[in-house]
Structure 1
Amino acid sequence: MDKKALLIIDVQVGMFSDENPVYHGEKLLKNLKQLLFRARATNTPIFYIKHNSPVGKPLEHGTNGWKIHPDLSPTEIDILIQKTTPDSFFNTNLDKELKKQEIKHLILTGIQSEVCVDTTTRRAFSMNYEVTLVTDSHSTWGSEELTAQQVINHHNQVLSWFANTNKTSEVEF
């Protein structure tokens, strides 16, 4: 069986602002805490991906909004990957760190469904990783055209071409 890792993409304080919080943020945090607990219980490596936004944006490097959400605090053995684009692999050391630990299967979660989660899922597939997208452990915001739930549902469907799709309760470590 291929070695797995849990990837938590951009679950940073700035995504939960009072003015415009991510859709179903509390449910997302609850599901991610379950995944973290099970990953840690099985010694599955955990990778936190942190977006670094330009100055003045919610995820500006070094600001409070840039920090990992306190409900999901990393431990000393977890790996933090810094990125500046939607692709968690582009200009980062993610692939190198995964290969160093001989990881072949990525369990993907996080924010934002149609941007960083989508891009990272497709890129991981193209790099020959087996991917599991946790369908109830990624989130986004709605727009004038689509509700957040519609965006999530659409991406769960489309990304099934690139990943296994499972709910939090179905993920095996």
Structure 2
Amino acid sequence: MNQSALRRPALLIIDMQLGLFNGSDKPYEGDRVLKNINQLIKRARGANAPIFAARHTGPRGTPIEPGSPLSQLVPQLDVDVKRDLIFDKTRPCCFFGTSLGERLAEAGTSELVIVGMKTQYCIDATCRTAADMGLRPVLIADAHTCMDTRVLPARAIIEHHNATLDGSFVTLASAANYEF
């Protein structure tokens, strides 16, 4: 069996939602990241790779409670609610308290392509857990983002995580070069 037959990728889009993407603190190069994610969605569809989109939600009564406007995916994101699996999570890791692991297993996924927000929280936690679960996580280096913090600018956070996660936890790829 050739290597491409063993490689069964899926795309995971994390927290590309109104409350984060369009909040008062703007994500670093958000428009470029969104464009790169949409390119990956198009390629995943062309290859019939499953697409999953996670939304971070909070408790009832908070601005990001389930179903609230701020918890909804940004409308510019090319997900298809009838075709793609959109799910809510309450923790940084997309696997904790969700059916993501089971859904990936049902789809026969071996390689998980990870994109979205926020680099130092949900992207980091999900990359590390995916590797621990025996998946081959691929972090798209130019398709995840975050905001500046009091300590570090977003660009430095993204570069640091790309360097830290690469090799030990993920394989890095660029949006332009990744093929499903």
Q: Pick the TM interval, shorter chain.
A: over 0.9
Is residue 2:176 matched to residue 1:172? no
Instruction: State the partner residue of 1:37.
Output: 42
Instruction: State the partner residue of 1:19.
Output: 24
Instruction: State the partner residue of 1:66.
Output: 71
User: TM-score, length-normalised on structure 1?
Assistant: 0.95
1:51-109, CA deviations, whole angstroms, 9 ceiling, x for partnerless residues? 11234655332111111111114221211122100010011100010111111110000
User: Which of 85, 89, 94 pairs up with 1:83?
Assistant: 89
Q: Which amino acid aligns with 1:171?
A: Y
Instruction: State the partner residue of 1:135.
Output: 141
- CA separation of 1:54 and 1:21: change in aligned 2, threshold 3 A: farther
Give the unaligned 5+ runs of structure 2: 1-5
CA contact (8 A) 2:66 2:88 kept: no
Q: Distance in 2 between matches of 1:30 and 1:74?
A: 13
Secondary structure in 2 aligned to 1:168?
Answer: coil
Instruction: State the partner residue of 2:104.
Output: 98
Q: Which amino acid aligns with 1:7?
A: L
User: Which of 87, 112, 116 pairs up with 2:118?
Assistant: 112
User: TM-score, length-normalised on structure 2?
Assistant: 0.91
Is residue 2:131 matched to residue 1:125? yes
Instruction: State the partner residue of 1:52.
Output: 57
Identical pairs, percent = 35
Q: Distance in 1 between matches of 2:151 and 2:145?
A: 17
Q: Which amino acid aligns with 1:133?
A: L
Q: Distance in 1 between matches of 2:121 and 2:172?
A: 17
Moved more, 145-154 or 18-27: 18-27
* Number of residues of Structure 1 aligned to a counterpart in Structure 2: 173
Q: Which amino acid aligns with 1:61?
A: P
